[in-house]
Chains A and B, each alone.
Chain A
């Protein structure tokens, strides 16, 4: 299994997850995640080469829906629950300094 998790990796992952960790938190998180990943090494001993991954518990397929329109939610009710809205739309701060 992979090497010990570094604080640098923890900070990278926290960015991916859009969680801003303070350096104290990052340090604590690094040690906790390391402890868990260490425990999770127990499965390294297993020979899993020929094992088919199991992604869902019940084997269903082809669950489909007819193409029939249902009414929309009420816009005012929905926007009333939004942190910020304007002109029938959701409002967000500007996008700067990162991917679009």
Chain B
């Protein structure tokens, strides 16, 4: 992970995120039209989706339930709520208003924890409907400005969305990336969304401002179209730097919406606050209030799976690894922590189990095909120095390819057996004799020279030597 550029002259970064996620329902927020990505244009449409005269919205119960899962997973209060109309004209908005939640959203006042126990407040997570999709044609750029015409597909219109609004608690672009990654893993864990940023089922708007400690927050700019976790970091780094440079050269920040261009690595003005619409919010008269009763909320809460943070912590404690480290994060994200537990139950070495799974099971999904007892046997073979770590890697590959098997037999078949210490000592002698220059350099303190010596040992042992053990012996000889 790249180093975060620190802002010069004590400038402090303030970031808040608005993340839209499409819910994994079968139908739309307010109608029985299918919620499906990638279909032929305008084949998932009905009177409600198209905003036909006379069409009326009816809430999707499953969408509410998924939104409640999100709220509860983010430690929000789930409360009685209402829907409003947000009025503005745009061709991807069929009714010329978006049905959204305004002063009484479903989920409020939650938080999410980042590595290092950093707490990011969640202001709200409210329900709303997605817009259709415009594609711009003609002109030179293929961009919206300068196009000749646009075509509209309403398959996405009315897809249920939850908009998760963080408090401006994020202080570095690294935290922003962690926030999005953690949010994504929570959404996946609770089954609320497939959260695919590349397909737009999870979309980030980033609010960036800068200030000096002890002074009020500066004017913020909202950055749209940030389509990957990496872009979130890049956009923040660029935008915060732009704001500082502008202020330091005597300029002022205008409140505006900016567009992130991933190819140029820059943000550009999309629209300024002055020409922002007056949305004329008012209570949606075609819908009635949603008042989830406590029993429903508790049933949803009770059915929530253990969340990624808790699973990472449990796994880390079990395996003796860092809870914020790569292996805990990756294994939990893939849902393979139960498998690691099974390997340990089968007598496997805990630390080796989690690391094997992290390194070799990327393609295996939550239920790897290798029987837990076979992987357990392999970790023991390595722990007891019956095979070297290099040999263990080879056997792991064999196990995955064969979908399991007797690892001792596999080791025998490959002719793997760890060398005894006497044999290794002899090989060390031989290596020092064969590479006197390297030995001399190593004795003079040049650590790099070790490579040639170990290489020679590995060569003469035909790979059977344990590199770590050989290194230890060489170090002991040097004294």
Contacts and interface: CB of A to CB of B under 8 A. Distances in A.
Q: Do A and B bind each other?
A: yes
Contact of B145 (A60, A72, A92, A96): A96
Interface stretch (A24-32, A42-50, A61-69): A61-69
A10 interface: no
Contacts of B42: 75, 78-79, 88-90
B276 interface: yes
Contacts of B61: 64-67
Contacts of A66: 61-62
A36 interface: no
A99 to B, nearest CB: 5
A62 B83 CA distance: 12
Given A72-B34, A78-B50, A93 B149 contact: yes
A68 B46 CA distance: 14
Contacts of B150: 91-95
B168 interface: no
A68 B134 CA distance: 27
Nearest to B275: A99
Contact-size category for B: 35 or more
Interface stretch (B277-285, B322-330, B337-345, B399-407): B277-285
Contacts of A64: 58-61, 64
A78 B47 CA distance: 10
Given A61-B288, A67-B62, A89 B152 contact: yes
A60 B287 CA distance: 9
B43 interface: yes
Contacts of B45: 72-73, 75, 78
A-B complex: 10 closest residue pairs judged by Cβ atoms: A67-B62, A70-B32, A89-B151, A64-B61, A60-B288, A90-B152, A65-B58, A88-B41, A55-B283, A61-B291
Interface of B: 25-27, 31-34, 40-47, 50, 58-64, 88-91, 134-136, 138-139, 144-154, 270-271, 275-278, 280, 283, 285, 287-292
